[in-house]
Amino acid sequence: MAKSIDVSDLHIYYGDFLAVEGVNLTVKSRSVTAFIGPSGCGKSTMLRSLNRMHEVIPGARVEGKIVVDGQSLYDPSVDPVAVRRQIGMVFQRPNPFPTMSIYDNVLAGSRLNARRLKRSEADAIVESSLRRANLWSEVKDRLGRPGMGLSGGQQQRLCIARAIAVEPEVLLMDEPCSALDPISTSAIEDLIHELKTEYTIVIVTHNMQQAARVSDDTAFFNLKAAGQPGRLVEFNPTRKMFSTPDEPSTEAYISGRFG
Amino acid sequence: MTTTASSERTERRLEVRPSRRGDRAFARLVGAAALTILFTLVAVFVFLAVQGWAGMTSGSATYAPFTSFVGYIWPLIVSTLLASAIALVVAVPFSVGVALFISHYAPRPFAAALAYVIDLLAAVPSVVFGLWGGRYLATYLQPAHMWLHDHLGFLPIFGEPSPNGRSLFTAGIVLAIMIMPIMTAISREVFMQTPRLHEEAALALGATRWEMVRYAVLPHARSGMVSGMMLGLGRALGETMAVAMVLATTPTVTLDVIGTASPATIAANIALNYKEATPERQSLLIATGLVLFVVTFLVNFAARWVAGRSARRLGS
Ligand SMILES: Nc1ncnc2c1ncn2[C@@H]1O[C@H](COP(=O)(O)OP(=O)(O)OP(=O)(O)O)[C@@H](O)[C@H]1O
Ligand SMILES: [Mg+2]
């Protein structure tokens, strides 16, 4: 069920602009992999290339190879729509559907997957997803209200609920906690712990403690210099990364002397 | 330290005053513009009401071949609404489809070219459409008249088909072609302004392009689309030449939209009769103008209400 992801020699472009260069890494199945690095180094870009969301930007393309459980992701025979149904994503900025109710937002993905849902099934999915995203108690009395009526942090948790409602095999999270208070953050971290027993998770974060707390492996990205493409500086088990990193720049970044 | 800082801040705020004055001047300016529009609207209404009053209350001979104002105006209202309804039924799906194609489906250079051509269509004067519709399009639409009569003849609106294709139906089609460009342009514009964030939200859930359109684009564009339709509808209700030139108008009472004998629309009736009218007939025509004015308002309100209803249902 859970999938591993092999990235080899990946270059990611926006038109002619090379944003990320020469990435090689392996995301293990049933584990949490954290992407860290300074702003603008290409973490979001890298993440989006893992579920083929990168290519929805006009002119954006990738070179190189990503293999998910033996299947090449960018093979011409692979349907990006099918990929995205299996690899869910939470965006850096909350994006609930503005005209849909909270209830319908959570079910948006399940309804796409074509199966007709019974009312009781739908209710169960909504409740369990919202509970796991630590939002249930705040919204259970107003499920019919628009999702846009929530606070920014609540919207983000709604988006997390929407992403996990379809039980994706891989979950990509782009700074999911950047707008959340410590309580919700900790709830999301608990969720990540719980999910990783079944799913593969990749998370982008600017919070070193969070990376240390939740992840098994950490990838540190950096720009070689201003105006240069981002690249993967170091990829190691999180424990090693936060105690004895191979690269001096990793240590500088993690200890806050840099970036 | 803190006191100097705060006094500096007050000073700076005082300096900002002039730009606030500019703000107020601008607010007045746009307020004045809005009032001017309202005033014009009221002035037109007052003119129509004052001048048309005599037309609604004069002797029964004025309304020949009918005998009262209501008898005279009724068929015209029905024709106006029928022609506009036909135009909308044809033009709305068509223009929404074309707009979606341009904004979300067609490859870029082709989309730009298509958008340009459609904008050009909007610049064609309505007399030209009228000429083309009456002389040319009608003959080609004649088989459609036959078909509608044969297959949907049980509906009273599809009675005896016109042998030359000149009918209210053809007039409605010509109107549809005329209002399509503006409706397409407005829909396209709002479709393109769909926030990327919401489109990506749908795509990341594994939506196909059509599903993405349904989840993100159409809900976002809804009120803009309604505005576009209102503009198109307004044009259809008030259009004169295209109808006058396509239709051989007859003062009868009929619901049949594909027959030869149909009453004119209100606007076409005014255009056709204004020249040779006596003073009584003149004020009668002005009174029909007043009715058109009111009908347009009512139709607009009704359409907005219907369109807003489901949005309100979600909101409350
Ligand atoms: N849509 C786009 N078009 C062109 N260039 C882009 C686009 N999005 C990002 N970039 C560029 O790609 C590079 C990497 O951006 P990315 O968003 O991946 O950074 P990031 O590491 O996620 O930063 P942050 O931590 O601030 O979110 C940047 O130089 C950015 O300017
Ligand atoms: Mg980012």
Interface of A with B in 108-137 (CB under 8 A): 108-109, 112-113
Residues flanking ligand 1, CB < 6 Å: A 14, 17, 19, 39-45, 57, 92, 230
Is residue A80 predicted with pLDDT exceeding 60? yes
User: Each residue of B263-300: pLDDT tens digit?
Assistant: 888 999 888 888 877 888 888 999 999 999 999 989 88
User: Each residue of B142-172: pLDDT tens digit?
Assistant: 999 889 999 998 888 888 888 888 889 999 9
Nearest CA to ligand 1 atom 29: A40
User: How many angstroms away from the CA of A54 is the closest CA of chain B?
Assistant: 10
Confidence of residue B244 (pLDDT cuts 50, 70, 90): confident
Give the number of other CB atoms < 10 A from CB of residue A93: 13
B284 in a structural domain? yes
B11 in a structural domain? no
* Per-domain boundaries in chain A: 5-254
CATH number assigned to the domain comprising residue B273: 1.10.3720.10
CA angle A189, A191, A193 (to 5 degrees): 70
Is residue B84 predicted with pLDDT exceeding 90? yes
List the single residue in B205, B215, B216 with the smallest CB-CB distance to A84: B205
Pocket test for ligand 1, best of A13, A16, A44 (most atoms within 8 A of CB): A44
Which atom of ligand 1 approaches the CA of A60 most closely? 3
The count of C-alpha atoms lying within 13 angstroms of the C-alpha of A136, restricted to the half-sphere facing its C-beta, is 13
CATH class of the domain at A5-254: alpha beta
Is residue A250 predicted with pLDDT exceeding 80? yes
Is residue A95 predicted with pLDDT exceeding 60? yes
Strand positions, DSSP E, chain A:
5-14, 17-27, 32-36, 60-68, 71-72, 87-90, 170-174, 200-204, 217-223, 230-237
Is residue B9 predicted with pLDDT exceeding 70? no
Range A142-152 average pLDDT: 89
User: How many angstroms away from the CA of B313 is the closest CA of chain A?
Assistant: 10
User: Each residue of A158-208: pLDDT tens digit?
Assistant: 999 999 999 899 999 999 998 888 988 988 898 899 888 888 999 999 999
Sequence-distant (6+) residues with CB within 8 A of B101 are B111, B114
Judge contact between A88 and B193, C-beta under 8 A.
Answer: no
User: Each residue of B52-62: pLDDT tens digit?
Assistant: 888 888 877 78
- The boundaries of the domain holding residue B50 are 23-315
What is the structure's pLDDT at B17?
A: 56
Judge contact between A160 and A189, C-beta under 8 A.
Answer: no
B2 in a structural domain? no
B15 in a structural domain? no
